[in-house]
Amino acid sequence: MADLNKKQNKILKFGMAAILLCCLFPPWTSTYKSKTLHKVRSEGYSFIASPPKGQSYRHNVKLDVSRLLLQLFIVSVATGGGIIISKKKQE
């Protein structure tokens, strides 16, 4: 594998920082379940060590894994694409 140039190195570092932020502040969902109602809603983003609180004891708050994986995929593709596009032509 060839060495990365300065621009590619910056893109790689930015992508790694974005992935780290995505993992430190992941998306959360809250599920409300009763006999007649099942409702899922987004709880936004929160630090991984302190998830958001549910509105009541019937709300189950959990990590939104599918949305997190989608974000990680998009950041990875964008980072890889940026590295490929910024490759210098060999003389």
Tokens of 66: 């599918």
Tokens of 55: 């509105």
pLDDT tens per residue across span 24-75: 999 999 888 777 877 888 889 999 999 888 776 777 889 999 999 999 999 9
Type of residue numbered 35? K
CA atoms lying within 13 Å on the CB side of residue 8: 12
Q: What's the mean pLDDT in 73-78?
A: 98
Instruction: Give the per-residue pLDDT at 29.
Output: 92
Check pLDDT > 60 for residue 87: yes
DSSP 27: E
Instruction: Give the per-residue pLDDT at 91.
Output: 41
> Taking the model in full, what pTM does it have?
0.81
